[in-house]
Structure 1
């Protein structure tokens, strides 16, 4: 039995979350624009300041009372590479960033609430089809970012989390929506909750990791060319972005490994074998694991540049997208449970 009223309320909550996330995306974008422009002005002002004092000239009386600054710390390049932390950002930029963060918290409440109402409407874990998978994955991604932002303000990261989550939810509502219904017999197992929940958490971390990886690649390219301008000036240095990218993937990879193992155990119970080269259960889940393992190995190998290793992580996320869209929707197999009418 399903509860149509609760299912409808869940749908309304998700649509409301999409609208709130769109506003949060605008606020975070304005934050980056203002913070980037502020960083550029500081760099330009310091460049003019240095131009007024020729190299080797006497700085004049009173210079000894000024704070000591190394050449590296006062150079325009160093200033561009090290924008102030979120807490030190200009008033207008911070206000926009905080507004985006508060809207994201509201959207998190709506998405989690909509997911829970979907669960109540079907009296089971909301993990039975592609639409519900996206709801749970989006909930995890927003919860991770919201919890992270409580510990340390990450206003610049908001765009890289809110944008993919918004796209996921829009796709789920427009193309992958499935009416609230009961599970097919093959999914009636407690391994559904274990396997799919960990898979959702893994994908949520991969989403954030992909956003950080993209930010690192763009910022690193700009730093290499000496053209850190606009919104890029509001991002942390490329080295810091890369460390965050690696850290997220170090956390996500063991979870995906468990997803692979728990899927094999579930397969043995459901089909009498631990492994089969089904498009989802065998091939693509394993491909994703191999690609991310290759990223972590490349990241730890001195013969690989950091940029090349990060591109491997991007390829891994592309494989995730292919697995949960093209493979799940267009390929048939024992593991195809998208719930989308073909």
Structure 2
């Protein structure tokens, strides 16, 4: 099957453009993050002044309340400061959506160039799973209160894209015979969606642990500065939990579809191939996380660690199993 080199080149350009757009979005997101730190400091300073004023009134009045604080912003000043920060948040969101459009175009052009779904090697898988991750994240982060999380999502996605575009890149080509099946898009797209949602769930659990370590209003040190603009631990935990609720059935469906494909291709549903085994371990860990979240005594940070371990096994499966371990799934374009 001939490869359309023109479309393949356009796909590569779109990939590079998406990376550049995401990188610019990250820079704007970091500016927004820093500005929101200032907004929070201003709100807390004003709250302290108002609290002292109430105490002073209760004690018979004191005119030295504002003199005891180095900085006492007015509500109007805080509103102006927040409006300036929100401009960067809005620009970040717009750039992310532009990046997603270009990102998806890169995957579509890759598929059109080879006249197949772009799931033929590890580079293409990274291209697709990162696109799904960004799309799901952009839908979740439509609400302003979640825009502060963009740096924490963009950094791993950019790292994944950089590694995929440099170390995993493979020229457009027909797929190997083992992948020439109508099960390819069904199985891999389902797994990709489940893994993308799982990535968001795992990152949310990481941020939840950071917020637990640095409670709102009692942050300290470098990590306290990082945690200050984040949503409450309750909201982060809820995001991780709701995402995992979706991850478990979708990832499980992907494994079942893979088993059906395996029976058609290799004459058995399950053979404890390394990739099959680690995929099952990931699914079991997500099930364990959801069970732990519903069990008394495990609803605190202990359950979050299980979710993070599930994310770690998915990353291990994506890179180490595909690139190092030899098995029936060793057709990632690298070995």
| TM-score, normalisation: structure 1 | 0.87
Cα contact 1:25–1:158 (8 A) shared by 2: yes
Compute the displacement of 1:126 (Å): 0.4
Out of 198, 210, 223, the position equivalent to 1:206 is 198
The 1-side partners of 2:12 and 2:25 are apart by 20
Q: 1:9 maps to which residue?
A: 10
> How is 1:20-59 mapped onto 2 (pairs within 5 angstroms)?
20-54=21-55, 57=58
The number of aligned residues is 314
Compute the displacement of 1:51 (Å): 2.5
Cα contact 1:40–1:233 (8 A) shared by 2: no
The 1-side partners of 2:187 and 2:25 are apart by 32
Judging changes above 3 Å, is the alpha-carbon distance between structure 1 residues 260 and 97 closer, same or farther for their aligned structure 2 residues? same
Kindly provide the CA deviation profile for residues 134-177 of structure 1, in whole angstroms up to 9, marking residues without a partner as x: 11111111222233344666311222322221111111101111
RCO higher in 1 or 2 (8 Å CA, sep ≥ 6)?
1
Answering whether residue 277 of structure 2 is matched by residue 294 of structure 1, we say no
Cα contact 1:267–1:275 (8 A) shared by 2: yes
Q: 2:95 maps to which residue?
A: 103
Structure 1 gap ranges (5+): 61-86
Out of 133, 150, 154, the position equivalent to 1:158 is 150
Q: 1:328 maps to which residue?
A: 322
Answering whether residue 141 of structure 2 is matched by residue 146 of structure 1, we say no
> How is 1:217-236 mapped onto 2 (pairs within 5 angstroms)?
217-223=209-215, 226-227=218-219, 229-236=224-231
Out of 268, 272, 279, the position equivalent to 2:274 is 279
The 1-side partners of 2:172 and 2:26 are apart by 29
The 1-side partners of 2:118 and 2:325 are apart by 23
SS class of match (1:154): helix
| TM-score, normalisation: structure 2 | 0.88
Compute the displacement of 1:94 (Å): 0.4
SS class of match (2:174): coil
The 2-side partners of 1:151 and 1:309 are apart by 26
Compute the displacement of 1:56 (Å): 8.2
Cα contact 2:219–2:227 (8 A) shared by 1: no
Q: 2:109 maps to which residue?
A: 117
Out of 146, 158, 179, the position equivalent to 2:171 is 179
Compute the displacement of 1:58 (Å): 6.1
Judging changes above 3 Å, is the alpha-carbon distance between structure 1 residues 48 and 56 closer, same or farther for their aligned structure 2 residues? closer
The 1-side partners of 2:173 and 2:80 are apart by 50
Structure 2 gap ranges (5+): 62-78
The 2-side partners of 1:106 and 1:172 are apart by 20
Judging changes above 3 Å, is the alpha-carbon distance between structure 1 residues 189 and 88 closer, same or farther for their aligned structure 2 residues? farther
Q: Which stretch of structure 1 is more off in the superposition, 106-115 or 209-218?
A: 209-218
Out of 263, 283, 304, the position equivalent to 1:310 is 304
The 1-side partners of 2:110 and 2:230 are apart by 37
Q: CA RMSD in A?
A: 2.1
> How is 1:126-137 mapped onto 2 (pairs within 5 angstroms)?
126-137=118-129
